[in-house]
Amino acid sequence: MYAKCGNIEDACSIFDKMPHHGVVSWNVMIMGYATHGFDIEALKIFDQMEQSGIDPNHITFVGVLSACCHVDLVDKGWHYFKCMRDYYQITPTMRIYDCMVDLLGRAGNLVEAKKIIKEMPIILDASIWKSFLGACRIHADVGLGELAAEHLFQLDFENLASYMLLLDDSSREY
Of 99, 103, 80, give the one whose Cα is nearest residue 90: 80
| DSSP single-letter state for residue 172 | -
The Cα 33–Cα 89 span in angstroms is: 25
- State the DSSP H helix or E strand holding residue 129, giving kind and residue range, or none if neither: helix 126-138
pLDDT score of 3 = 86
pLDDT score of 168 = 54
- State the DSSP H helix or E strand holding residue 84, giving kind and residue range, or none if neither: helix 74-86
The one-letter code for the residue type at 131 is: S
Q: How much of the chain, in percent, has pLDDT values that exceed 90?
A: 66
Task: Map out the domains of the chain as residue ranges.
Answer: 1-91, 114-174
The answer to whether 130 and 137 are in contact (CB under 8 A) is no
- The pTM of this model reads 0.85
pLDDT in tens, 52-88: 999 999 999 999 999 999 898 999 999 999 999 999 9
Counting as low any pLDDT under 50, the low residues of the chain are 170-174
